[in-house]
Structure 1
Amino acid sequence: MAYRDLRDFLATLDENGQLVRLTDPLRPEPHFGAAARAVANLTDRGPALQFDNIDGYERSRAVLNAVGSWPNHALMLGLDKDTPVKEQFFEFARRGDDFPVEVERADDAPWREHTLDGDEINLFHLLPLFRLNRYDAGSYIDKAAVVTRDPDDPEHFGKQNVGIYRIQVKGKARLGIQPVPAHDIGLHLRKAEERGENLPMAIAIGNEPVITTIAGMPLAYDESEYEFAGAVQGSPYRIAKAPLTGMDVPYGSEVVIEGEIIGGVREIEGPFGEFTGFYSGGRRQPVIKVHRVSYRTDPIFEHLYIGRPWTELDYTVALNTSVPLYRQLKQDYPEVVAVNAMYTHGLLGIISVRPRYGGFAKAVGMRAMTVPHGLGYCKVIIIVDDTVDPFNLAQVMWSLSVKLHPAHDLVVLPDLSILPLDPSSEPPGISHKVVLDATTPIAPEQRGHFSQEVDAPAETEAWENRIKELLR
């Protein structure tokens, strides 16, 4: 199922009726952001949008919503586009068991066809940049694979980070970036600045979807995103070396920007409409100086609409957030059955578990808040029984409505860390968190009347399969 590049994936979407090509002349702003918001509003089975006729850009194209639906996410995994979300979750988790898969290194790459250096660089001429939402401070690059290395251990392949970070275009060769301190790039930058150095980096735009999915995944510090991408796609991930910085970047990228974060320099970045559905405000953030740009002929600018959920971001980070939480929790608690952390990047998560004894579910919920992703995100954790599908909100709401007792089943944990982008945090970065235990009470808990639950009629599963076939 490995895709050579973004173009290969778009061809697959087209073959499956999941790509809409717009050929009439359109201006990037406001048309592109509005179109991506509209398709997200209308359906969870929406297509990718490819803009082929961009006013002012004769040789460029733009793509939004590439993985902005469950059918597109399934095709990213090489599955049938009608694969249910729960099945995609378990398939994603199963492939993760094959990690690590050693990479394949290429001597050349398509993005080396053209090069711009020094005063030749003007990102506004090369890319059809635009604001996504009306009060964004400027144009952003928000779906690029950003590559940095540990300044103290630059040869350690696993510590080379591939992440997704918002990047404001502040000038023709000047960028602003928001590197969250707890993320790998934040650790790299801190080490570089402590050494009195700049931090070299590469920004790869327009990639096949597996690496952008894994780049947003909370892996361990020394785990390679490329080696995990190989596990997910079922074959070695192909990379090539960026000529100026030596960073390993995806072989099939459309555009590769090389430069460095300037140590000790901070400028106002933002506001920007974020995944929480609110503008983030302006903050002093690091600055990138661009030194070289390499790109393919007629490059495709892949962009990510972001705003009030659901958008493409939510599909992209849905399972790459849920699966690491599942894998990490299951190491400590084999009774964990599945994890659904699809809601606002895991600010709310639902965990199904087979409780061993009274109070067990609450312990699992608190543990979720202390895994790497949970420290900065998991604010509300709902625990349900193993008989409840955490991906079926009707079943989850039923559990909450009939099993949760407010006097016994709420655990409030005060003043824990949360990402500052959470608009409810006060001060920014600090929040109370809560575990909601919606599991059936078991000994030594003695309360409620749960002994006569209605089960499904005999042969229900067989009829489910039959009806699925009839619907096809």
Structure 2
Amino acid sequence: MPLRTLINELETDHKLRRIAARVSPELELAAITERSGKASDGGPALLFEQGAGHRFCVVTNLFGTEERTALALGESSLRAFGKRIHASLLAVTGQSADERLRALLAADTLQPVVNHRPPCREIIAPPDLSVIPALTFWPQETVPSLTLPLVFTTDPDTGQQNCGMYRVQIHDSDSATINFSGQSGGGRHLQAWREKNLPMPVAIALGGDPALIWAAGAPLPQECDELHMAAWVSGRIQTVTCGLSQPLLVPAEAEIVIEGVIHPGETRAEGLFGNHTGGYVANPAAPLFRITSISHRADPICPATLVGTPPKEDCYLAKASEQLLLAMLKIAHPPVRDLHMPLETIFHGCALIGVEDSKEGQGIELLQALRSSGPLQRAKLLILLDSDIDIRNPSLSYWRAINQLDESRVFIEQGRISIDATGIDTTRLVEHERVTLELISRRWSEYGLG
């Protein structure tokens, strides 16, 4: 659904609060979001009407619960989201899960359409980043950041676009840094433009379809188009428009669009940024993004997310990606039945994997396959567990894993740990028989226990 539709639905359901008071973009807005989000129910989404000291509105904690994230993706729950992906992958042909997903997203019905009078062009503004409500979140941060940017780049040879989500820091009125990871779509594009000694066109969209915000950060295989993924997820064709100053297509429904270039080899040191490790990080040589144009809606709403010690709303976006991974793992590795990545370690790829009918040696083979390729290849911890264990119960899962620890079942390579905790003989587990349990259920009131 469109961003504004989601905001309206949350407000109607009393799951979004408007804040009319003027709030500083330096620490205050983040602290309000942090305190509100610590509520047992995840707190409401927050719409800051005075734009954190700017004339733009800012919305935070949109994805602050599994329920809200599922709603943004058009589903009743994230489990339902995963089941829909799995059923759709089964319905298309392909030798691998990656091929099936590419085939699913290749449908002509998912092609975006061009809007020549888009909402994101209602105001053509001077290329001045000081109007953008970038935020500082934690005390040692000195450079404000954009934390939900949709970053569009293109391959210089094929013209294929990529939409990724990377840390953006605004250093002055006409430049910012973008922290591409080397293996990301944007990172590969940057290297290709650098090898040609040409400036890379870049567009940053703020806002747009929440399904695209998720897709931009999802672990999609190469050559899977994020706009197509968002269209499939939302059931709505994405609308795009041509760049004002760069040869890129950008979301027509975006709230704000910033365009510019990255010149080959031009970098700048980032300021400190508080991230999910609970500490600060900084790239000493982040690519420097020089602004060429800015446009926005007449009344833009800038989405932002607080990053820090889990759980935060980025964790729930990652839980949606967990469902994509599970659907693809079931295709690639049929014994896999379930996947759980605890919030505290989800950004390290740590995963509990439930498997069925594991025979001697199969667990080791599966771990080797997961480590050889795919999104769990670099996970810091993988634990395989029999399907009798509820892998969403961490204490029970780790208890089973500890009881199965054996040097023949634990593999450590480059600091990454894999544990095969499968193969338990369930007939020898310490459990009461069903007959006894039925007996005490019938006589429970006789025992005076209610």
Residue 110, structure 1, aligned to residue 119, structure 2: yes
- When residues 237 and 394 of structure 1 are mapped into structure 2, their CA distance, relative to the original with a 3 A threshold, is farther
Normalised to the residue count of structure 1, the TM-score between the two structures is 0.82
CA contact (8 A) 1:100 1:230 kept: no
Question: Conserved in 2, the CA contact under 8 Å of 1:44 and 1:70?
Answer: no
Query: 1:35 maps to which residue?
Result: 32
- Cα gap change, 1:293/1:457 in structure 2, threshold over 3 Å: closer, same or farther? farther
Q: Distance in 2 between matches of 1:200 and 1:293?
A: 14
Structure 1 stretch displaced more, 249-258 or 330-339: 330-339
Q: 1:215 to 1:20 in 2, by over 3 A?
A: same
The one of 369, 372, 375 equivalent to 2:371 is 369
Range with greater deviation from structure 2 (240-249 or 345-354):
240-249
How far, CA to CA, are the matches of 1:39 and 1:263 in structure 2?
43
- Report deviation, 1:252: 1.1
Give the CA deviation at 1:328.
4.0
Which amino acid is 2:83 matched to?
Answer: F
Shift of residue 217, structure 1, vs aligned partner: 1.0
Match of 1:405 in 2: 405
**1:2-401 counterparts in 2 under 5 A?**
3=1, 5-54=2-51, 56-57=53-54, 59-80=55-76, 83=77, 85-94=78-87, 98-101=104-107, 102-107=110-115, 108-116=117-125, 120-124=126-130, 126-154=131-159, 159-320=160-321, 322-342=322-342, 343-375=345-377, 377-401=378-402
Q: Deviations over 1:261-312 (max 9, x none)?
A: 1111122113211122221134211100110001001211211110111111
Shift of 1:52: 0.8
Q: Secondary structure at the match of 2:368?
A: helix
Aligned 8 A contact 2:385 2:421 in 1 = yes
Q: Provide the C-alpha distance between the structure 1 equivalents of 2:437 and 2:294, rounded to a whole number of angstroms.
A: 61
The structural deviation recorded for 1:236 is 2.5
CA shift at 1:92, angstroms? Answer: 4.8
- 3-state SS in 2 of match to 1:382: strand
Cα 1:71–1:436, aligned 2, differ >3 Å: closer, same or farther?
same
Which residue pairs with 1:465 in the alignment?
none
Alpha-carbon offset, residue 152 of structure 1: 1.4
CA distance in 1, matches of 2:68, 2:302: 18
**How many corresponding residue pairs?**
420
Amino acid paired to 1:256? V
How many Å separate the matches in 2 of 1:222 and 1:374?
19
**Contact 1:6/1:208 (<8 A) preserved:** yes
Is this contact kept in 2: 1:18–1:47, CA < 8 A? yes
Task: Give me the whole-angstrom Cα distance separating, in 1, the residues matched to 2:138 and 2:174.
Answer: 23
Rounded Cα–Cα distance in structure 2 between residues aligned with 1:305 and 1:191: 32
Could you say which structure has the larger radius of gyration? 2
| Distance change (3 Å), C-alpha of 1:151 and 1:394 | same
- Amino acid of the structure 2 residue aligned with 1:90: K
Distance 1:197 1:66 in 2: 38
Partner residue in 2 for 1:467: none
The CA RMSD over aligned residues, in Å, is 2.6
Partner residue of 2:101? Answer: none
- Tell me, in whole angstroms, the C-alpha distance in 2 between the residues paired with 1:355 and 1:275: 36
Once the 2 structures are TM-superposed, how far is the Cα of residue 145 of structure 1 from its aligned partner? Answer: 0.7
1:105 partner amino acid = V
Q: Which amino acid aligns with 1:244?
A: S
2-structure distance, mates of 1:434, 1:141: 34
Deviation larger for 12-21 or 339-348: 339-348
| CA distance 1:39–1:220, shift in 2 (3 Å) | same
| Contact 2:211–2:233 (Cα < 8 Å) also in 1 | yes
The unaligned stretches of length 5 or more in structure 1 are 416-431, 443-447, 461-472
Query: 1 CA distance for matches of 2:250 and 2:436?
Result: 54
Long gaps (5+) in structure 2: 91-103, 439-450
1:394 positional shift: 4.6
For 1:95 and 1:318, how far apart are their aligned partners in 2?
Answer: 19
1:36 positional shift: 1.8
Deviations 1:3-49 (A, max 9, x none): 1x321110111122221111122222222111222233233533211
2:442 corresponds to 1:450:
no
SS of equivalent to 2:38: helix
Shift of 1:196: 0.6
What is the percentage of aligned positions where both structures have the same residue? 24
Name 2:420's counterpart in structure 1: 437
- Are residues 17 and 399 of structure 1, via their aligned partners in 2, closer, same or farther at CA, if it must alter by over 3 Å? farther
State how far apart, in whole Å, the 2-side matches of 1:458 and 1:62 are.
59
TM-score (norm. length: structure 2): 0.86
Q: CA deviation at 1:146?
A: 0.4
Alpha-carbon deviation of 1:245? 1.8
Q: CA deviation at 1:140?
A: 0.6
Q: Which amino acid aligns with 1:336?
A: V
